[in-house]
Structure 1
Amino acid sequence: MKQIIFGLLSIIVIASCEEVVRLDIDSTEPVVVIEGLILDRQTTQYVKISQSVNFYSETSSEPIRDANVYVTDGVLTYTFEHNPNDQAAYEGYYFSSNSFSGVAGKTYTLVADVHGTRYTATDQLFPVTAIDSLTVRLNEEEFEDPEEEGYFYEVLFYAKEPQQTEDFYLFKFYRNDTLLLDGPTDIYFSDDKLIAEEINGVPTAGFYKPGDIGRVEMYSISNAGFIYYNDLINLLQSDGGMFGSPPVNPRNNISGGALGFFQCSSMVFKTIEVTD
């Protein structure tokens, strides 16, 4: 069920027996990157807009602060404002002027006017199944040789998967308030074919010590979201060899040539305290 995506580091070289030629990736045109999330929770929703930078830049992206952003469900329109509290950590983030909750079954459209170009994205918000329970188990192998001293418990989670519908899921795991990943670039998602009828004691990422609070979040995603993440996996797994397919950007739901994805999700979560 775990799928590793993201963490894209591309170094492109052409090698021969005589010389190595570096491609002029420094001259690549900047691309707008849009990431948005609408949840079925009464909260301040967000959209993040940035611009890619050249390969040798010390920053991964440049925040865009002067876009005009709104989201509509066809009846109601929600305006978004850039970093209203002027916090350095949220440069490039646009937050809804008023809190609102996405509604399962509705389709939401994002409109972002950036430097004279209009980008739009549409995603449907699907319901998500409930998490039945979480349990804690001592991992004997980790206990014998812990990667981090004292951390050798794992959290397992359980859920039923409704077979009458076609569903796709994204998972996030936390230890206390820290997002847990088995690898620094992991994201975990699945379709219902892989899950089958239930999630039955699947270990989450990372390990815990007594007193920690484990948290599992489960998000619905659309088929478009699943395709987007799956394309990222294929991109990462490409060996870049001479006879391999040339890399292509993941398919997304944003018009106008921007990268990223606009996601609408239902979300459920459960927590558990880790004890001996």
Structure 2
Amino acid sequence: MKKIFTQLFLFSLSLVVLTSCEDVVDLDIKSGNSQLVVDGWVTNQATEHTIRLTESAPYFDNTPAKPVLNASVIVTDDKGKVFTFKDVKNNGYYVWKPTSAKDTLGRVGGTYTLNVKFGTEEYTAVSKLNRVPKIDSMTYFFDKLPVAPSDGSPKEGYKPEFFARDFTGEGDCYWIKSYRNGKYYNKASDISTAYDAAFSPGANSDGLIFILPIRQSVVPQLEFALEKDTVKVELQSVSLAGYYFLNQVRIESTNGGLFATAPSNIFTNINNINPNGRKALGFFGAAGVSTFQTVIDAKKAKPKNG
């Protein structure tokens, strides 16, 4: 009997200890003033260019971002040429359209200044359009996963790989963007960047062919291209600031799970001309673009280790 009472006492004591550890914490989260959010890149391609303006929202607000309307959006290059962006559809997407098939906004070596006037505030950002190497070719090989994906996606298919060589001269930064059948891989986890021909500074990869993981980042790791798919890759030159911005977006957007780190504010190059004015978020960048496209043909696939 004494043994039973001892066990009951220890059990009751453990319940008290465990219960006492469960403290309810009420977080008083106040929503501050909204901030201007800029998302815009200009390139040397003869195409439309878009700069999206929205307003920030409280952390727990999952509604679509509120567009910024009736703003003035202008980009000026280092030669004094002015490009006016207009919100034709009144949805926060400010667009500049070329006047001819050869009319480009950006040029390699040019410096571009963004000016946004929104209400009583005025913002500016500067970015240089750097050189970009030519993509020489794209190959692909057949591969398959040992276990079929749980989401029903293909277990096997083709892995594309592009080939390009970094310029000689340390410090070139790149953003690798890819498309499959016209659909852009736009998830934060799909962001692929390079510093010279590797992932980051200190890799001693200046002037080399891009390393294998970067070359094969055309399609996400657990996905495949299929027969007759059209696969396109863009190699875009970005500034060092753009390189760090993109990396931080990927890190913060995929920061979760058991080993997640404390979140931090993402770097921005958007500045209010009034030091005491309302701050802004986002990024304005300029990029040179090199493109290569191919259609998957099983007869032209290379051996996996070839």
TM-score scaled by length of structure 1: 0.81
Computing the radius of gyration from Cα coordinates, the structure with the larger value is 2
Partner of 1:268: 290
Q: Whose relative contact order is higher, 1 or 2, with alpha carbons under 8 Å and at least 6 apart?
A: 1
1:273 positional shift: 1.0
Matches of 1:118 and 1:131 in 2, distance apart?
Answer: 39
Change (3 A) 1:234 1:210: closer
Is 1:255 aligned to residue 249 of structure 2? no
For residues 166-209 of structure 1, give each alpha carbon's deviation from its aligned partner in whole angstroms, at most 9, with x where no partner exists. Answer: 2000011111111236x664311121162621125532223111
1:221 positional shift: 0.2
Partner of 2:6: none
Change (3 A) 1:151 1:93: farther
The Cα RMSD (Å) is 2.6
Partner of 1:7: none
Partner AA of 1:229 in structure 2: L
CA contact (8 A) 2:245 2:266 kept: yes
Is 1:118 aligned to residue 122 of structure 2? yes
Partner AA of 1:60 in structure 2: P
Is 1:78 aligned to residue 89 of structure 2? no
Partner of 2:15: none
Change (3 A) 1:150 1:228: closer
**Which protein has the bigger strand share?**
1
Partner AA of 1:96 in structure 2: W
Matches of 2:67 and 2:191 in 1, distance apart?
Answer: 23
Aligned counterpart in structure 2 of residue 219 of structure 1, from 236, 244, 268: 236
Partner of 1:162: 167
Matches of 2:131 and 2:38 in 1, distance apart?
Answer: 24
Matches of 2:131 and 2:168 in 1, distance apart?
Answer: 14
Q: 5+ residue gaps in structure 2?
A: 1-20, 200-204, 273-278, 299-306
Partner of 1:127: 131
CA contact (8 A) 2:129 2:239 kept: yes
Change (3 A) 1:227 1:38: same
1:250 positional shift: 2.0
Change (3 A) 1:53 1:194: same
Is 1:92 aligned to residue 114 of structure 2? no
For residues 8-39 of structure 1, give each alpha carbon's deviation from its aligned partner in whole angstroms, at most 9, with x where no partner exists. Answer: xxxxxxxx7311323415x2321110111111
Change (3 A) 1:266 1:260: same
| Equivalent runs, 1:1-276 vs 2, <5 Å | 17-25=22-30, 27-74=31-78, 75-82=80-87, 84=88, 86=89, 91-96=91-96, 98-99=98-99, 100-141=104-145, 145=148, 147-149=152-154, 152-180=157-185, 185-192=189-196, 194=198, 196=205, 197-199=208-210, 201=212, 202-203=215-216, 204-205=218-219, 206-233=223-250, 235-236=252-253, 247-256=263-272, 257-276=279-298
SS at match of 1:133: strand
Matches of 1:156 and 1:272 in 2, distance apart?
Answer: 11
